[in-house]
C-alpha cells in the first residue's frame, strides 16, 4: 500500500509541465549565444597585431570587452544549469518520499548532477585562468608577468584561452545532454505520480 503525504503532492498544474520543452526553448539558445561570444573573443584576440602599439589599442579594447561579456554570459548559463539541478534534485527527493518509487530516477538524477557540476567547475576555472593570464599578458599591465615554463605570456594566454573555449563548448553539450536526460527522468517520475493520483482519485 502506497502511503501519500498530502503536503508533498504536486498539484495538477505541476504535473502538466513539459520539462523537455523547457530545456529546448531556454537552454539551447543561451548556450549557443555563450559559445558564439567566447568564439568571437578568441578571434578578436588572434586579430590583435601588436598589443604594445598605442595606435592599435582599440583592438585590445574590443577583445577585452567581448571577453568580459563572454565570461559573464557563460557563467550565467552555467549558473542556471546548476540552479536547475539543485531545484530538481530537491523535487526528486520530495516526490520520492511522497510517492515511493522502485525505479532509480533519484539516483540517476544525482549522478547527472554530480558529473555536470564537475564539468561546469572545470570550464569556469579555465575561463578564470584565461582572463587572468590575459590581463597579465597585457603590456600595459603593472604585474610584470614574464611567462612560465619557457612560454611567453601571450602564448600561455592563447593556449589556456583555446582550452577554455573548447572545454566550455564541450560543457554546454554535456549540459544539454544531462538536462535532456534529467527531463526524461522527471517525466518518468511524473508518470508514476499521475498513475497513483488516478488510482486514488485525487484529481477527480
**Inside any domain, residue 73:** yes
* Cα gap 203→197, rounded to integer Å: 7
- Residue 146, domain member (yes or no): yes
**In this predicted model, what pLDDT tens digit does every residue of 49-108 receive, in sequence order?**
776 677 777 887 788 899 999 999 999 999 999 988 888 888 888 887 777 765 677 788
Q: Is residue 9 part of a domain?
A: no
H or E segment to which residue 45 belongs: helix 28-46
Q: Is residue 12 part of a domain?
A: no
pLDDT for residue 156 is more than 70: yes
Neighbours of 114 (CB within 10 A): 11
Rg (CA), the chain: 23
In the chain, the number of structural domains is 1
pTM greater than the 0.75 cutoff: yes
Return left, alpha or beta for 17; rule: phi > 0 is left, psi -120 to 50 is alpha, else beta.
beta
Report yes or no on 85 lying in a domain: yes
| CA atoms of 24 and 36, how far apart (whole Å) | 18
- Is residue 88 included in any domain, yes or no? yes
Using one digit for the tens of pLDDT, what is the confidence trace for 1-16? 445 444 444 454 444 5
Angle in degrees, 0-180, between the axes of helices 57-98 and 28-46, rounded to the nearest 10? 160
Contact 35, 188 (CB under 8 A): no
DSSP 103: S
Domain interval for residue 25: 19-194
Assigned C-alpha cell, 148: 612560465
Residue 13 within any structural domain of the chain: no
Is 1 within a domain?
Answer: no
- In Å, how far are 1, 95, 106, 196 from 4, measured between CA atoms? 10, 10, 18, 9
Amino acid at each position: 500500500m502506497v502511503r501519500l503525504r498530502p503536503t508533498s503532492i504536486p498539484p495538477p498544474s505541476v504535473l502538466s509541465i513539459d520539462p523537455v520543452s523547457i530545456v529546448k526553448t531556454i537552454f539551447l539558445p543561451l548556450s549557443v549565444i555563450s559559445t558564439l561570444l567566447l568564439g568571437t573573443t578568441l578571434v578578436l584576440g588572434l586579430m590583435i597585431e601588436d598589443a604594445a602599439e598605442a595606435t592599435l589599442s582599440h583592438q585590445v579594447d574590443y577583445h577585452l570587452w567581448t571577453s568580459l561579456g563572454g565570461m559573464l554570459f557563460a557563467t550565467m548559463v552555467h549558473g542556471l544549469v546548476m540552479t536547475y539541478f539543485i531545484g530538481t534534485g530537491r523535487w526528486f527527493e520530495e516526490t520520492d518520499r511522497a510517492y515511493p518509487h522502485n525505479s532509480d530516477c533519484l539516483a540517476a538524477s544525482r549522478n547527472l548532477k554530480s558529473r555536470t557540476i564537475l564539468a561546469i567547475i572545470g570550464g569556469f576555472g579555465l575561463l578564470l585562468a584565461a582572463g587572468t593570464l590575459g590581463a597579465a599578458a597585457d603590456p600595459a599591465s603593472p604585474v610584470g608577468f614574464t611567462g612560465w615554463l619557457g612560454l611567453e605570456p601571450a602564448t600561455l594566454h592563447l593556449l589556456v584561452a583555446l582550452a577554455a573555449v573548447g572545454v566550455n563548448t564541450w560543457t554546454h553539450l554535456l549540459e544539454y545532454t544531462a538536462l535532456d536526460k534529467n527531463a526524461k527522468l522527471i517525466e518518468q517520475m511524473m508518470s508514476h505520480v499521475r498513475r497513483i493520483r488516478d488510482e486514488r482519485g485525487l484529481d477527480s
